[in-house]
Each structure stands twice: as structure tokens, then as C-alpha cells.
Amino acid sequence: MSFQNTPMNVEDPSPMLVNMEQSSPVSKDESQNGGGSAHLEFSVFNSAKLKTDLQAMGVKLKKHEDNIRFLKSQKIKFDEVITELQGRLSSVRPPTPSKENIEINEQIIRHKNTAAGVLAVIEARHGAHVSQIPLMKGVVGIVAKLGKINDENLSQVLSDYLGMRSMLAIVCKDHDSAMALQTYDNQGMIDTSAGLHGLGSSIGQTIEGNFDAICLESVRPYVGRHIADDPQRRLDLLKPKFPNGECPPGFLGFAVNMIQIDPAYLLCVTSYGYGLRETLFYSLFSRLQVYKTRVEMISALPCISDGAVSLDGGIIRAAGIFTLGSRGEVNVRFAKPTASRRMDNYSEMEKQIKELTWKKGKLMEDMGREHVIRKDTLENFGKKKEEFVRFLAQSSATNQQTIPPR
């Protein structure tokens, strides 16, 4: 009986097990030997158990090898489609920024010596190539530029609700990207030559005060259902209702669903596959309700749990917390969405590439796990095979000693 030292591909373990059965050291003469009956039963039991274990391991190995082959074939398909889409995207001239986007960027730039102001200048200078700056690879953007709202009154009241600090917050994909924005020297002081401070120095600006950085991987995302067949992937939230089952008059919707998001950011912004609506805007607005007038909002108080706003400037931040006084307008607002077929097509291709790249990354993680499991199973198979060989050798020697001469 022969064994390979390291079986690299276990296609079918049954031939090996047939050889094992033929080599089992149990003879008719031994079974007739009354003195060796106990040893015979023990040998038969151990032999059967070891053969069963080896067969199970062989089947398991073949399963993992089949999984790896399948995942490799899927990776090749993903690579082909991604390469094709990237080729098509590179042949299309990126759409020029709309008038509204330029105005929002100028509003942010006017806030000199702020982190958002520095970032807006860098984005304006480098345009589509800004992602090639190492520091910017994990930066998604500034809150005010990541959503669009068609109604000017709603844009203003939501900006007022968030406040300037949140509107100018910098959004990053993960913790490392957020921490890279600001580094420290050996004395624990801010290193003004590195991170976003270093970029500010390169354009002649210094960042004064502090600023907020939002890490999308760390915020608690919305994990419920989405509205079916909605290209904007709006959240399927239950509408507020009075005890009689009627919806409050003047209710227009939830703020998180009234933000329009670029298709490229609807999916797979985080490693878990979430987009900006489930992460960024859900963390900022939660279930904030929007009403047409302040009077209608106040009349709906029994139905409001996570705050509400009205188009005429009313703000309820939480149950029992009202914003009163004159309306102090935040001078940075969300831009209006622009209708452009070329821009929509470009954004859709970006979305497809991002989604496929994310799926490929998850597939590679699965393949890595399969390789680890296969390696462990292969090592266990080798140990079990050696154990079986030793058992056969020992049983053969014992049988020769116990069987009397003819």
C-alpha cells in the first residue's frame, strides 16, 4: 500500500480506501483463533473508524477545492467586466461641475482657515485627479457636497438643523482615513506639516480651531428594508400616524429620504456594502420628519419621536427640545440636483465599477478563507493517514506474534 506524502488534490478518496480495505490485517485464521478474538475485534473497529475518518476528510478537501475553483472563475469574470467598464469610463470625458456645485464649493472656500475650506480648494485645483493624492484616497467628501435637495426652503432648514459644524464635516470611509487627516509629533502636538494641515500649508492656509471627521465604518447604519424598485434606494420607514391611523396633515416625508445622492455613493461606500443614505445621512437625520408648515408640525407632536422640521423654518430637535428665536441662516446649503444624461451615465458607470469592485473584494475574502480551511484539512488528512499507516504496521506485527505456527 502506497501513500503520497502531501496529497495536493484529493479528487476522490474511495480508491485509497479500497486499497486500505484490501490491506486490512484480518485473516480467517486469526478469526478462528480464540485467544486473538478480542484483539481482532479491536483491530476491525479501529480500522473501520480510521477509514471512515479519512474518507470524510477526503470529501471535505474535494469540496473546498471545488469552492476555490468556482471562486477563481468568478474572479476572472469580475475582472473582465470591471476592465471593460473602466475602459468605457476612461473614453468618456468627465462631466463638468454644474453651476450649483460650483456655487456650493465657493461657499465652502469662503470659510478660510477651516478644514473644509482647505479641502474645497484642493478639490477645485485637482478636479477628478484629487483621489490620486494619498491622503484623499479614503476621503469621501464634505457633508454639504454629498447630498442634493431640490427645494430651496428644505435645503435651508436642513442646513440650519445640522448647523455649520456638521455641514462642513469631512466624511471618510474608515478609521485609518479619518485619523490620517491629523497626525501628532512625539510631544503630542499637531504636526502641521502632515495630514490636512500639510495640504493647507501647501496652499498658504492654516487650519484654525477644530473640525469634525465622520468615519462611515464606525457609525451605526440603517439595517432595515429599502423602498422596492427605487433607484435612489430610499429607506422603507413607517410613516407617522395618529392613534386613529391617520397620517398627520402636512407631513412630507423623512429628511433622510429627501436627500438626492449621486449614484456612485448609493452602494458599497463602506466595506460592508452600505451607501451614504444608510450611513452618513441616517446618522445625521435618523427619522427626522419634514412638514409643510410650523403649525402642522406642532399639531403632529404626538407622532414625533426623532425631531422634525418645517419648510417655513420650524425645528424640533428631539422630543421636548425646540429651536426658537429668529432664523439664523447657515450660509452653506445643499446644492440642487442637475439633470444631465451624460452625468447620469457617467455616475452609473462609476456606481457599477464600485459595486463590482466591492463584490470582488468580498469574493477574495471568501477565497482566502477557503484556502486556510483547505490547508488545515490537508494537514489533518496527512496526520490521520500517518496514524492509519502506523496502526496497520502495529496490527500486522501483533498478528504475526499471536497467530500460532501451523
> Among 15, 135, 7, 110, which residue's Cα sits nearest to residue 65?
7
Instruction: Tell me, yes or no, if the pTM score tops 0.75.
Output: no
Could you give the 3-state DSSP secondary structure of residue 215? strand
What is the per-residue pLDDT for 405?
Answer: 55
Average pLDDT of adjacent 10-residue blocks, the chain of 406 residues: 38 45 45 49 65 81 87 85 75 66 87 92 82 87 92 92 94 93 91 92 90 94 91 92 92 94 79 89 96 95 94 91 79 79 68 78 86 86 78 68 56
> Cβ contacts of residue 29 below 8 Å, gap of 6+?
403
**Residue 45: its pLDDT value, please?**
60
E strands, 216-288, in order: 251-254
Residue 291 is predicted with a pLDDT of 97
Count of beta carbons in the 10 Å neighbourhood of residue 48: 12
Pairing of strands 308-310, 315-318: antiparallel
Q: Which amino acid is at 236?
A: D
At 59 the pLDDT is 85
pLDDT of residue 269: 76
Which pLDDT belongs to residue 46?
65
Nearest partner of 263 among 172, 166, 337, judged by Cα: 337
- The pLDDT value given to residue 163: 92
Question: Would you state the pLDDT for residue 355?
Answer: 78
Is 297:310 a contact under the CB 8 Å cutoff? Answer: yes
**What is the reported pLDDT for 406?**
54
Q: Report pLDDT for 394.
A: 73
CB 292, CB 282: distance < 8 Å:
no
In the chain, DSSP finds a helix count (H) and a strand count (E) of: 12, 8
DSSP state of 313: S
Residue 373 parent element (H or E): helix 341-402
From the list 303, 325, 307, the residue with the least C-alpha distance to 315 is 307
Per-residue pLDDT, 96: 64
Residue 199 burial by Cβ neighbours in a 10 Å radius (0-12, 13-18, 19+): buried
